[in-house]
Structure 1
Amino acid sequence: MIKNLLVFGGNGFLGRRICQTAVENGFEVTSLTRSGTAPKAKALWEKKWIDQVKWRQCDVLDPKTYSQYLQNANNVVHSIGILLEDSSYKTQLSGNLAFDAKKLLKWGPNPMKSNPNFTYDVMNRQSALTLAQELTNFQNSASEGGQRKTMTYISADRSFPGIPKGYIESKRAAEVGIMRLEKQLRPILMRPGFMFDELDASVGKLDPRTQIKHLLDFANWGNSWILGRKINCVNQLIRPSVSTQQVSRALIQKIEDPTFEGVVSLEQIIKA
């Protein structure tokens, strides 16, 4: 059987690494996004895997724009979501800004005036459940030997200080909805923590995301060596960062294990 992977949000911060890791593991990969464009290569060698991915356009909220791709898809990944109900935070996290925690939580004007779909409920929950439900329509015609298609959802370990509770609530609601379809699909629920990209870290890039990673690493060092990880409330608050490459490796491992389904915790991701 040909290994294939359909990634919704494949040109995003995590999605691009999922596509890369899948290509490197012998998968035929198709990425579906609103723009349908390939991500910009961060290094010359990246062009090799980018050229092997089929970059296509769709609207995840409108199944008619992508149903034809689900027919022969054995594995589907939902890598679409928002941390805040304001699109400007993504630009600031990837920009060259001096770190300012207060500024990073003041992301700018409310985009809801122009984009009513940019909400936790729509982007984190509804888009995932719309995709999962549409995928079940093709389960019988595309399955081989009774195998269920995999539906992987990028959830979250937990919320972050200063982030509205609607973020993690929408993630958990999506998980519950996907698990209800487990008789038709094999659900894989990834729960990463704060993510960074190893390529950015290796070149010493000091964008806000990398600076937050350094702060988390320092906090975890202090919790381990000074507090000995003996205070449970501190352990719950200070969680390790994880690279997009680690998340992608863990995701592919779980997809390739036909016996696995359910939640992949942050600790499991880090060990991958």
Structure 2
Amino acid sequence: MSSLLVFGGNGFLGRRICQTAVEKGFQVTSLSRSGSPPRTANRWDKEWIDKVHWEKCDVLDPKSYTQYLKDADNVVHSIGILLEDSSYKAQINGKLSFDPKNLLKWGPNPMKNNPNFTYEVMNKKTALMLAEEFSKVQRADSARERTMSYISADRGFPGLPSGYIKSKREAEAGIMRHEQQFRPILVRPGFMFDELDASLKTLDVRSQLKHVLEMLNWGNDWLLGRRIDFINQLIRPTVSTQQVSRALLQKIESPDFKGVLTLEEIIKS
């Protein structure tokens, strides 16, 4: 049985990566700051959740997770931030009153008590540290292929600081330097929603943003025929966490694939 180690496995995308891997027969371990499984009210989620090993680590302290790398055939880095302000996660998930002005506000890191909550640390440094540690691990079965997958991004969004996509691309470049030690997979999804959550929630912020983006994509398809490249680059398709997870696991199981998994490829999978 092939093993999968997911950093951030209890997150919005990470939980679906864990679920898809369990359903495909992988032995799955999730590492996160809390070490706890995701909270869910869906009874259909509980079966796969019980099959995942939920463990605790500090992603900035390799000593807290090195032992898990020794037995990992495949590693996934599903940790990152969209804004350098942790309150946006609560807003976009509908836990706080949504204010678009606050969501797109940027500048000096407002989390003064947490200097690590930056693009440079969360999106880039954690990934490069993990890649470095994974490349050092000596395996008894050296003939068995290993992969490292990084959840990157399709591109930036209007109003989003350039540091976001810059940190993602720099992390990608650093990970690719280890392609002699493992097969790198760089996943570039766009705006993500969860198919199960979307069927249960219609008023949360993420669902509202999804509907707006899908309407814009519809207009680009049917009214403009996707003839204007600038608009095509600006208005990108939405994608579900389930689609991203399925596409990722397909590439992990495809020994000839390495490099960038584009949004278009994810949608076709």
Whether contact under 8 Å (2:86, 2:111) holds in the other structure is no
Deviation digits for residues 111-132 of structure 1 (CA, Å, limit 9, x no counterpart) = 4310010010000000000001
CA distance in 2 between counterparts of 1:96 and 1:154 reads 24
**Equivalent AA in structure 1 for residue 46 of structure 2:** K
The 5 Å alignment of 1:208-247 reads 208-247=205-244
1:162 corresponds to? 159
1:183 corresponds to? 180
- Residues matched between the structures, number: 269
CA distance in 2 between counterparts of 1:68 and 1:99 reads 41
- CA positional deviation for 1:61: 1.0
1:13 corresponds to? 12
CA distance in 1 between counterparts of 2:182 and 2:50 reads 30
CA distance in 2 between counterparts of 1:213 and 1:108 reads 26
The 5 Å alignment of 1:1-272 reads 2-95=1-94, 100-106=99-105, 110-138=109-137, 140-145=138-143, 147-272=144-269
Whether contact under 8 Å (1:9, 1:15) holds in the other structure is yes
Whether contact under 8 Å (2:91, 2:98) holds in the other structure is no
Distance 1:22 1:158, change over 3 A: same
CA distance in 2 between counterparts of 1:211 and 1:109 reads 28
Deviation digits for residues 150-172 of structure 1 (CA, Å, limit 9, x no counterpart) = 00000000001111000000000
- CA positional deviation for 1:101: 3.0
Distance 1:107 1:174, change over 3 A: closer
CA distance in 2 between counterparts of 1:113 and 1:60 reads 20
User: Normalized against structure 1, the TM-score is what?
Assistant: 0.95
CA distance in 2 between counterparts of 1:256 and 1:264 reads 13
Whether contact under 8 Å (2:92, 2:98) holds in the other structure is no
- CA positional deviation for 1:144: 4.1
Distance 1:224 1:125, change over 3 A: same
CA distance in 2 between counterparts of 1:54 and 1:74 reads 15
Whether contact under 8 Å (1:143, 1:149) holds in the other structure is no
Whether contact under 8 Å (1:159, 1:165) holds in the other structure is yes
Match of 2:111, SS state, is helix
Deviation digits for residues 221-241 of structure 1 (CA, Å, limit 9, x no counterpart) = 000000000000000000001
Whether contact under 8 Å (1:86, 1:108) holds in the other structure is no
CA distance in 1 between counterparts of 2:14 and 2:140 reads 24
Whether contact under 8 Å (2:191, 2:237) holds in the other structure is yes
Identity %: 68
**Equivalent AA in structure 2 for residue 268 of structure 1:** E
- CA positional deviation for 1:206: 1.7
Q: Which residues of structure 1 form unaligned runs of 5+?
A: none
Match of 1:219, SS state, is helix
**Equivalent AA in structure 2 for residue 258 of structure 1:** P
Deviation digits for residues 208-254 of structure 1 (CA, Å, limit 9, x no counterpart) = 11111100100000000000000000000000010000000001000
